[in-house]
Amino acid sequence: MSELETQGSGWELPKGAQPWSSFHWFRVGARESLSLVLLSERPTWYLGHYVEGRMVPCGGIPCELCGEGLGSQARFVFAVCEVTTRRVGLVEVSQSVAELFRMWEAEHGGLRGMWVELYKHSHSVRSRTECRCVREDPGHWWRSLEVPDPGVALELTWRKAGFKRSRSGSRVSARPSGSG
Ligand SMILES: [Zn+2]
């Protein structure tokens, strides 16, 4: 994705721009589950490396972390709304959880409007995240919500974390620059 324009004239925002300046990332707590309605029509994925307790985007070829022999894993990102607070944000899941979404998507007839609950396998944030599908109608309140673009959210989040991408491609500096 190219650099976002942050200013311009006219009514039309450039492609990729949206009225979001920050994004909320939902995380599954040790003891409370996350109850989410999916707002995305399809998943957004990226390949990442797990480094020092966090996911770092794979920089493509060449990637320093691939070069170090660190395996990459697919991560799937969805725009969601939390059912109790009705807060809109994003959630990132592993490929195994995404496979469940995919299975339920077929039953549900689409991702959008599907109600899922994410929780930890044991009462520890380090334990694996599990998921179940809530087979109830969440109602229609979520239909009018603005849907954040997961690709833009990832880009901004990585930029804030100091992962730099070159303009020409998807190359990422694997190490945070440290400035913030
Ligand atoms: Zn890599």
Question: Per-residue confidence of the chain (180 residues) as pLDDT tens digits?
Answer: 445 566 777 777 776 665 666 789 999 998 889 999 999 999 999 999 998 888 899 987 788 899 999 999 999 999 999 999 999 999 999 999 999 999 999 999 999 999 999 999 998 888 899 999 999 999 999 999 999 999 999 988 888 888 865 433 444 454 544 433
**Residue 173 alpha carbon to ligand 1 centre in Å:** 10
In this structure, CATH architecture of domain 34-160: Beta Barrel (2.40)
Cα–Cα distance, 131 to 100 (Å, whole number): 8
Q: Which residues surround ligand 1, an ion (CB under 5 A)?
A: 58, 63, 65-66
Q: Which two tokens stand for residue 25?
A: 């990332």
Q: Where are the beta strands (DSSP E) in the chain?
A: 34-38, 44-51, 54-57, 73-82, 88-94, 115-120, 129-133
165 contacts 158 by C-beta, under 8 angstroms: yes
**Residue 68 alpha carbon to ligand 1 centre in Å:** 9
Could you tell me which of 176, 152, 179, 147 has the C-alpha nearest to residue 21? 152
Annotated domain spans of the chain: 34-160
**Residue 56 alpha carbon to ligand 1 centre in Å:** 9
